[in-house]
């Protein structure tokens, strides 16, 4: 690359990043080690896949250890470590897909159709706040994705949304084929993050309209500059959620000593806030690349004025949604 071209690209990037919010360090609260309670109540606990928080209750989709053939489980636990429910669910489950209804406390998981078993169905199970399991939606064919739409569920298969059979072609919005989970964002739209471009993707299921907007943020530029030696690229975001009318996402590749980098977006894909939540440490997590043993921020949740950042191995950092003093 010539010097003039490099300087031109740098100037363009600097112009695009003007006006981006300054990172705010949040006030840390006491972290929680979930592993003792999970090891006690979940046989062969392996990893936390799905995670949400509703009124200081943790809702988790837990996968068994790779050495085990046990079932997945939906676990509900309070912040004191008291386990309220452990509801086993037979797979195969879509491991990235776990929703919690903030109004009722019900949880939802998606069991995939068996790839080689004729007549196998795609089923969305509801795990009620009381711990019962029931079918919430059944689809007769294998789907690319399932999304919550009001009180109903939509399944995307062959570029059509079921059961209404309205157009939902995501081809233009997801060129990498790696679109994440679509979450309800408003009465008319679902929202997602395409983490490899990266972009905020909005879908209107009623007419199939898709709007995709690239994410421009210093955190993305920083991570992309670190990954220049990897031609295949890397995911820019590890997790995202919708809360308080905003989309919240964990930016990858940021210095762990400065905390988890959480960006808050509006529906247009603009960064409204850049937040930092201090990461807990554990000697068991120490490695050559992570000598201090910082937890890895793999999931995020927002509830009751707090920001929750989870390491799927069972360590939880919590920050108040107010600046550190």
Q: Beta-carbon neighbour count of residue 189 at 10 Å? A: 16
User: How far apart are alpha carbons 191 and 205 in whole angstroms?
Assistant: 11
Confidence of residue 34 (pLDDT cuts 50, 70, 90): very high
Q: Of all residues in the chain, what percent carry a pLDDT higher than 90?
A: 47
User: How far apart are alpha carbons 149 and 139 in whole angstroms?
Assistant: 15
* Cis peptide leading into residue 92 (ω within 30°): yes
Q: Both ends of the chain: CA-CA distance in Å?
A: 45
Which of these, 317, 312, 287, lies nearest to 46 by C-alpha position? 312
Residue where the block lists tokens 């959480």: 262
| Backbone dihedral angles phi then psi of residue 11, each to the nearest 5 degrees | -65, -40
CA dihedral 271, 310, 195, 191 (to 10 degrees): -60
pLDDT digits (tens, 9 = 90+) for 234-268: 678 888 999 999 999 999 888 899 999 999 999 88
User: How far apart are alpha carbons 285 and 251 in whole angstroms?
Assistant: 20
Q: Of all residues in the chain, what percent carry a pLDDT higher than 70?
A: 83
DSSP for 60-82, written as a single string: EEEEEPTT--PPEEEEEEETTS-
Most confident of 19-28, 83-92, 148-157, 298-307: 298-307
Q: Beta-carbon neighbour count of residue 95 at 10 Å? A: 16
User: How far apart are alpha carbons 211 and 201 in whole angstroms?
Assistant: 6
Which of these, 85, 11, 7, lies nearest to 41 by C-alpha position? 85
CA distance to 80, 192, 194, 324, per residue, from 162 (Å): 41, 19, 22, 47
| Whole-prediction pTM | 0.87
pLDDT digits (tens, 9 = 90+) for 210-236: 888 888 888 877 666 665 655 445 678
């Amino acid at each position: 690359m010539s010097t003039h071209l490099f300087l031109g690209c740098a100037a363009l990037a600097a112009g695009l990043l003007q006006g981006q919010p300054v990172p705010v360090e949040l006030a840390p609260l006491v972290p929680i080690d979930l592993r003792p309670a999970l090891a006690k109540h979940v046989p062969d606990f392996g990893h936390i896949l799905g995670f949400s928080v509703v009124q200081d209750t943790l809702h988790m989709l837990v996968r068994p250890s790779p050495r085990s053939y046990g079932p997945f489980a939906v676990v509900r636990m309070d912040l004191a470590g008291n386990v309220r429910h452990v509801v086993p669910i037979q797979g195969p489950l879509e491991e990235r897909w776990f929703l919690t209804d903030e109004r009722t406390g019900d949880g939802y998981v998606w069991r995939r159709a068996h790839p080689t078993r004729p007549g196998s169905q795609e089923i969305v199970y509801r795990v009620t706040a009381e711990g019962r399991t029931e079918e919430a939606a059944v689809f007769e064919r294998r789907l690319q994705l399932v999304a919550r739409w009001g009180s109903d569920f939509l399944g995307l298969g062959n570029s059509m949304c079921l059961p209404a059979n309205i157009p939902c072609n995501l081809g233009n919005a997801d060129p990498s084929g790696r679109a994440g989970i679509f979450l309800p964002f408003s009465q008319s739209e679902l929202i997602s993050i395409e983490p490899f471009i990266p972009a905020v993707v909005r879908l209107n299921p009623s007419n199939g309209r898709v709007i995709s907007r690239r994410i421009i943020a210093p955190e993305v530029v920083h991570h992309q500059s670190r990954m220049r030696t990897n031609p295949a690229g890397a995911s820019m975001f590890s997790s995202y959620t919708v809360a308080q009318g905003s989309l919240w996402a964990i930016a990858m590749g940021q210095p762990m000593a400065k905390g988890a980098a959480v960006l808050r977006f509006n529906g247009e894909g603009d960064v409204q806030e850049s937040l930092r939540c201090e990461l807990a440490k554990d000697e068991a997590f120490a490695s050559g690349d992570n000598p201090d043993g910082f937890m890895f921020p793999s999931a995020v949740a927002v509830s009751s004025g707090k920001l929750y950042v989870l390491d799927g191995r069972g360590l939880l950092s919590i920050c108040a949604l107010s600046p550190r003093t």
